[in-house]
Amino acid sequence: MDKVTTPLTRRGFLGAVGALGGAAALAACGGSSKPPGSGGATGSAAAGKTYSGPAVKLAFWNGWTGGDQPFAKQMVDQFNAQNKGKIQVQMNVSQWADFFQKLPAAVQSGNGPDVAVMHIDDIPTQAAQQVIVPLDAIASALGFTASMFAPAVWNGGMYKGKRYGIPIDVHDLGLYYNKDLFDKAGISSPPTDENSYMDACDKLKSKGIQGSWVSPFQFTGAFMFMSLLWQYGGDLYNSDVSKATWDSEAGMKALNFMLSLITKGYSPKNVAQDADFNALQAGKNALNWQGIWQVPTVRGLKSTKIEFAPLPKIGPKGGVWGNSHQFVLPRNGSSDPNKQAAARFFIRWFTEREAEWAKSAKVPAETKLQKSSAFTQGLSYLKPFAEEVPDVHFPPSVAGIGDATQKLYDAIQAAVLGKSSAQAALSNSAKSATSILAANKKKYG
């Protein structure tokens, strides 16, 4: 999600979702949805293991403007140094909202990049609008198979039975806890379930500490709700994604748990955006359901000791909100078979170094790389986030899904701030989202 410390990562993410509609004209523009060729480049291996064709330049677009940008630049520089005289990657970085404004226009004019990266929940809309193309044959040539990834990660790159994304990473929610406050309250280890979580909150409260602040915002209150919803056995939508179902019994349990943290005095009633995380750093909040993107900030702290753990299982099942960056190929990015081969080689090179990319606070998408010594030993502090990958859920692969899910974000905010009852907030937002799903089905087909 690239949140880290910049306002882009919160507002820019929401802007990007809204910007997706700006590409709608592409769906009517026609153009081939056939993926770039998987072979034919002079002197180049079709599988992307090597490249021996003529010198080429590749345009690589992404929205990594946060704390992961320096790591992306470092990896691209490394690739260019290793492939000097053969392939030179020119990286173009924009805020995600700008990225989704520029990309459709560039594709429509035939000036799209050769390769790009986007979030897993952006892929369906971009695929429906023919901004990106299927790459099943390329994924196969590169040797990627379902067995190499957690099901949610692998399936997340699919849209209508075709593959549009090649996984790079997973970025998920985890439990951040203030070790100094834990020691003060006599808490020996991070909570793992509802009983130990409430016990920790009680011990913290006895020391005058509101220990578990509840954010009313998407980052990260809504992500907390989603995780709880899945833990209680619910889901955001029904099986064919024709109806929003977060107003279920599981949804009520999830939201009521969050609200109970407020009514029992474990959280202030009105938490500002990012105030929960800021309070954690300031020693005023002890438990924070937070994204992996804040790990670099925490590791840079000098006086406060904050540690990481998997989310507690408040409900009977595992459930964790997450997202994933995936490589995509824009339509009309290049008709040059040598550039196509070079792009495959670059994708293969980058994904083989996911453990290195993980230094930007990510979990490698590929299971074997999650277990590699480079990750488990070199980046051991990320282990709690990696342990959660089997329980990670992604939004369904449906075009325009962000417009519907936005209604949930609004509902969580209204309920947490006391502007609506939990039942009314969830029920009314689910009805609105269901109407949006129906409209999107007509819009995107």
Q: Which of 62, 129, 160 is nearest to 400 (CA)?
A: 129
pLDDT in tens, 293-305: 999 999 999 999 9
- The answer on 299 and 413 residing in a single domain is yes
CB 384 within 8 A of CB 308: yes
pTM: 0.89
Same domain, 115 and 189: no
Same domain, 79 and 64: yes
Residues 385-429 have pLDDT tens digits of 999 999 999 989 999 999 999 999 999 999 999 999 999 999 999
Query: What burial letters (b/e) apply to 280-315, b meaning 16+ CB within 10 Å?
Result: bbebbbbbbbbbbbbbbbbeeeeeeebebbbbbbbb
Same domain, 33 and 153: yes
pLDDT class of 336 with cuts at 50, 70, 90 = confident
Instruction: Name the domain count of the chain.
Output: 2
- 303 with 346, same domain: the answer is no
pLDDT of residue 441: 95
Strands 166-167 and 325-328: antiparallel
Same domain, 199 and 277: yes
Whether residue 378 is contained in a domain is answered as: no
CA angle 16/126/227 to nearest 5° reads 60
Domain containing 84 equals: 20-168+324-352
The answer, yes or no, to whether residue 157 has pLDDT greater than 60, is yes
Query: Which pLDDT tens digit goes with each residue over 199-229?
Result: 999 999 999 999 999 999 999 999 999 999 9
Residue 141 shares a structural domain with residue 177: no
Same domain, 140 and 195: no
Residues 65, 66, 67, 70: what is their CA dihedral angle, to the nearest 10 degrees? Answer: 10
- Whether residue 176 is found in the same domain as residue 195: yes
- Residues 311 and 343 reside in one and the same domain: no
Whether the per-residue pLDDT at 315 is higher than 60: the answer is: yes
Same domain, 42 and 152: yes
Domain of 102: which CATH number? 3.40.190.10
Neighbours of 385 (CB within 10 A): 30
Same domain, 139 and 184: no
